[in-house]
Amino acid sequence: MPRQSTSVTLDRGLLDEARALGINLPRAAEAGLSAMIRAERERRWRQENDAAIADYNAFIEREGVPLADFRKF
């Protein structure tokens, strides 16, 4: 994937400690941003599908698990 240079402002203490520990700053920032994007996508998906999930759970409580009679456990 192509990379793009950018500029960010970071807490000085955090930056100094990361450098002292030999942490690759661009990779760490990229990993953190990737994790936040993944978490936000999940949060939005849950929000968008909350009603359907609630309906399905209510159905299961009311009717039971589909094909439960055929389960062998």
Residue 4 CA neighbour count, 13 Å, CB half: 3
User: Which candidate, 40, 39, 37, 11, places its Cα nearest to that of 25?
Assistant: 11
Dist. CA 25–CA 45, nearest whole Å: 30
Q: What distance in Å separates the CA atoms of residue 10 and residue 55, rounded to the nearest whole number?
A: 44
The rounded distance, in Å, linking the Cα atoms of 18 and 23 is 5
Q: What is the pLDDT of residues 12-62, one digit of tens each?
A: 999 999 999 999 999 999 999 999 999 999 999 999 999 999 999 999 999
This prediction's pTM: 0.72
Q: Looking at residue 73, what is its pLDDT?
A: 74
